[in-house]
Amino acid sequence: MELLIGKTAGFCFGVERAVEGAISELKKENELYCLGEIVHNKEVIKDLDKQGLRFIEKLDEGRNKVIIRAHGIEKELYEKAKDLNIQLIDLTCPKVLKIHKIAEEYAEKGFYIFLIGKKNHPETIGTVSYCGENVYIIENSGDIDKAFEDLHEKNIDKILVICQTTFSMVEYEKIVKDISYKKENNIELEIKNTICSATKLRQEETIELASKVDAMIIIGGKNSSNTNKLYEISKKITETFIVENKEEVNFEQMKKYEKIGIMAGASTPKKSIEEIIEILQSMW
């Protein structure tokens, strides 16, 4: 058996910053809350819970200090925190904050915003709150016509296209191409590819690895957008398994493959990756 391990597998900068920030705050506080899951990975959540971090769904469930997750929150919650006398520890990924700034700036200029992303993803929900009233979430090319209908009804002639940081590059490029094709000549179109560079590199490396192996193991939270994108990309090329930890790997099944590729999502801790690699290596 030969293992090919992705160089970009594991924590990205934004996730590492958020997790390390939470650990640092836990050393100073007896009581600390986080609004939503700090990152989409059960192993990370379990570890931080053991250290005393309490995860809440609504801001008013917290007290004193509340951490803002890596995905960010809605704009109005910053003001609500002041009203509740809650100090926010903002661990939003800087790349997500940059999108908020872009969205707010273009909304003020009168642009209609086409936001490419998953409607129910926390990052998308947060970004929408910075887009003003004129925004449409586009999950796939099937949503484009409805977005243009709303644009025309509101008589707006300027579009800004932005994207969830963890969206599929392949899907993004197809959607942007379709938007450009359907746009009338009198409509001004600005496109800003806000997919995180770490996401892009992981997706590219996954394609490269999957084309060289008999099977791929994608490690990460099954509720993680970027992990699921890696799985979707890989399974189109070779047999692919998505797991959250070593307990979910069928190691007996892995024995039939001569070459196995390992890739992990941006919120997957090093420990989860190393444990699986160690067991696979011991099977040689």
Helices (H) and strands (E) in the chain, counts: 11, 12
Any catalytic annotation for residue 123? Answer: yes
User: How many CB atoms neighbour CB 284 within 10 A?
Assistant: 7
* Catalytic-labelled residue, pool 37, 43, 123, 244: 123
CA angle 23, 48, 16 (to 5 degrees): 55
Cβ-contact 95, 165 below 8 angstroms: yes
User: How far apart are alpha carbons 44 and 40 in whole angstroms?
Assistant: 8
- Token pair for residue 170? 């392949």
Residue 39 CA: distances (Å) to CA of 13, 72, 125, 271 = 12, 10, 15, 16
> Which amino acid type is present at position 4?
L
Cβ-contact 93, 101 below 8 angstroms: no
Kindly write down the DSSP assignment for every residue of 51-68, as one continuous string.
TTEEEESSGGG--SEEEE
Cβ-contact 159, 135 below 8 angstroms: no
Residue 204 CA: distances (Å) to CA of 6, 126, 201, 226 = 10, 27, 5, 13
> Which residues form the catalytic set?
123
